[in-house]
Amino acid sequence: MGLYNLAIREIFLIHVDELPSTRVSRVSNSGLKDIIKGFKCFGLAVFLAWTDIRQRYRRSTLGPFWISISTAVMLGCIGVIFGGIFKSPIQEFLPFLACGLIIWGFISQCLTEATQVFPSSEAVIKQLPLPLFIYVLRMVTRNIYIFCHNLILIPIVLLIVQRPVGLNGLFFFP
């Protein structure tokens, strides 16, 4: 058993075993129980997602900001090329493109990775008795981290095109 699995077992396995049993309706409650146990172990999903990101960029000085840099380059290229083709002012086109590409990137990445959640976690699933929903939360949390890194680009784009944000811009925050 690897060191990574031993650390998870020592830190979080006791927590999973100590979960109180939930009272749910008798009809198909095993899936619902798994989801409830998964949410109760949300800290484990966050830890695993952060470990995935750290492991992916462990030898990089910029770390996860490489994703933001590649998104910024893509925004710049698409904005300039398609802004010229469609003859739309870059001050109006680029902010909408930035918001659309960043949100679509999050949705697309979640849908793409959702097909591989369980096959990519097969070894851990076989070794540790954790709720299966943890692996779904892990994937979504990892993509939320990346989404938050890319959200930094929206204010930068607004500053570059010198577009003011009025009071309506505050509706972005919940």
> Would the CA dihedral through 168, 147, 107, 68 be positive or negative?
positive
Each residue's pLDDT, cut to its tens digit, for the chain (174 residues) gives 454 554 455 455 445 445 444 444 454 578 888 888 889 989 989 998 999 888 888 887 777 778 889 999 999 899 889 888 888 888 888 988 999 999 999 999 999 999 999 998 889 889 988 899 999 999 999 999 999 989 999 889 988 888 777 776 666 655
Cα separation, 40 vs 32, whole angstroms:
12
Instruction: Give CB contacts under 8 A, 24+ apart, made by 87-92.
Output: 90/161, 91/161, 91/162, 91/163
Q: Model pTM?
A: 0.74
Per residue in 59-102, pLDDT (tens digit) is 877 777 788 899 999 998 998 898 888 888 888 889 889 999 99
Domain ranges across the chain: 3-172
* Amino acid making up residue 69: I
Lookup: tokens for 46: 């966050």
